[in-house]
Amino acid sequence: MVRERHTVSLRIGYGERSREFHIGRTGLMATVATLALLFFAATHFLYDYRENLSKLRDLSMLRQRVSEQNLTLYNLYSKFESLDTEVERLRAIDERVRSLARINQSLRPADAAKTDRPAGIGGTETHEAAVASRLDRLLDLRFEQLRKAVLVDVKDLERIAERLDSRRIVLSSIPALWPVHGILSSGFGVRTSPFTDTPVFHHGLDIFARPGAPVRAAAAGKVVRSGYESLFGNIVVLEHGYGYRSLYAHLRERQVAVGDMVEKGDPLGTVGDTGRTTGPHLHFEVHVNGLAVNPSRFLNN
């Protein structure tokens, strides 16, 4: 029995340079297997390449998201730094106002000191949301602490402002402006009378100035007297509130009438020598709750 031999002939080239190859069945099967293995390897390589390429794209997107989150976090911390700066500025203003107004530190509410204590944080976190949840909690906690600090400082400043406003009104009622530019010729207290040559009590200040010099209000107030008296001559009296009154006497002329409202520094009249006097000057008195006091205690130097 003769076994058939299957061969495959391949001719490569043309003419004399051509070569012919004979491949048997076994060689053909080996070649086919090799080609199949190469095809499988190439297919696996392409699959892995696509998978790696997809992972690289995902990694790039993840890095971009992380970069965006870092930028957002940086912006949030920048805002908190700005808020921290504002809180410190408010606290500095608070301390400065307290110092100027000489207000006791006890004005600050008792619960204000508690704002620096961090609030408690509890509960469990899932692994997937742990980082984001922790960051949100920390940011919320920090923001709440800063918000409470700002509110406490603002409330303190409002209370201080109210007290300062009340003090400003009282201070504005004190006759503190020199009513005329001149030379002090006689002070407050006991002196020898130029008319009787005996010791008498002088209830004000005598300020020597040129005749006709303007006499101005030592503080804002209302004109309660404006007329002529035998001893004081032309006289103007201002009611400033809070028990303060000021008197301006021996005026050459009066420029206000009863009921007029004047501001600090407004003209009331001019220096003269009307009434009982030895020469032109301004007699100036200050009364507190009906009692004459030394005007020098209030006048600005």
Please indicate, yes or no, whether residues 290 and 199 belong to a single structural domain of this protein: yes
* Better pLDDT: 1 or 10: 10
Mean local confidence (pLDDT), 43-55: 79
pLDDT of residue 3: 47
* Better pLDDT: 286 or 48: 286
Local structure of 174: helix, strand or coil? coil
Please indicate, yes or no, whether residues 280 and 191 belong to a single structural domain of this protein: yes
pLDDT at 272 over 90: yes
pLDDT, tens only, 79-128:
667 666 766 777 776 666 666 555 444 434 444 444 444 444 444 444 44
Look at the block and give the residue holding tokens 């051509």.
18
Residue 33 structure tokens:
């297997």
Q: Which CATH number covers residue 224?
A: 2.70.70.10
148 belongs to a structural domain: yes
Among 69, 89, 111, residue at a domain's last position? 69
Among 122, 153, 172, residue at a domain's last position? 172
pLDDT of residue 39: 80
Among 69, 90, 120, residue at a domain's last position? 69
Please indicate, yes or no, whether residues 145 and 118 belong to a single structural domain of this protein: yes
Please indicate, yes or no, whether residues 259 and 163 belong to a single structural domain of this protein: no
Please indicate, yes or no, whether residues 61 and 114 belong to a single structural domain of this protein: no
Using a cut of 0.85, tell me whether the model's pTM lies above it: no
Query: What one-letter code names the amino acid at 74?
Result: Y
Please indicate, yes or no, whether residues 122 and 58 belong to a single structural domain of this protein: no
Q: CB-hemisphere CA count at 13 Å for 250?
A: 24
pLDDT, tens only, 130-168:
555 665 666 666 666 666 666 556 666 667 666 766 666
Mean local confidence (pLDDT), 199-213: 94
pLDDT, tens only, 285-295:
999 999 999 99
Query: What one-letter code names the amino acid at 12?
Result: I
Mean local confidence (pLDDT), 187-193: 90
Please indicate, yes or no, whether residues 58 and 105 belong to a single structural domain of this protein: no
The H or E element that residue 163 is part of is: helix 130-172
pLDDT of residue 268: 97
177 belongs to a structural domain: no
Overall domain count for the chain: 3
pLDDT at 64 over 50: yes
Q: What is the mean pLDDT of the chain?
A: 77
d(CA 197, CA 124): 97
d(CA 56, CA 175): 83
In which domain, by residue range, is 210 found?
183-297
| Radius of gyration of the chain from its Cα atoms, rounded to whole angstroms | 50
CA geometry: angle 263, 268, 271, nearest 5 deg: 140
Please indicate, yes or no, whether residues 200 and 219 belong to a single structural domain of this protein: yes
1 belongs to a structural domain: no
d(CA 144, CA 114): 13
287 belongs to a structural domain: yes
Please indicate, yes or no, whether residues 61 and 82 belong to a single structural domain of this protein: no
pLDDT of residue 65: 77
Confidence of residue 1 (pLDDT cuts 50, 70, 90): very low
Burial group, residue 145, by CB count within 10 angstroms (0-12, 13-18, 19+): middle
CB contact at 8 A, 263 and 240: no
Local structure of 238: helix, strand or coil? strand
pLDDT of residue 168: 67
Mean local confidence (pLDDT), 38-49: 79
pLDDT of residue 105: 44
Please indicate, yes or no, whether residues 28 and 47 belong to a single structural domain of this protein: yes
Please indicate, yes or no, whether residues 53 and 83 belong to a single structural domain of this protein: no
178 belongs to a structural domain: no
pLDDT at 18 over 70: no
Q: In the chain, pLDDT over 70 holds for what percent of residues?
A: 61
Q: How far is CA 229 from CA 132, 226, 233, 249, in A?
A: 87, 10, 5, 9
Mean local confidence (pLDDT), 278-299: 93
CB contact at 8 A, 218 and 177: yes
pLDDT at 240 over 80: yes
Please indicate, yes or no, whether residues 46 and 111 belong to a single structural domain of this protein: no
Confidence of residue 296 (pLDDT cuts 50, 70, 90): very high
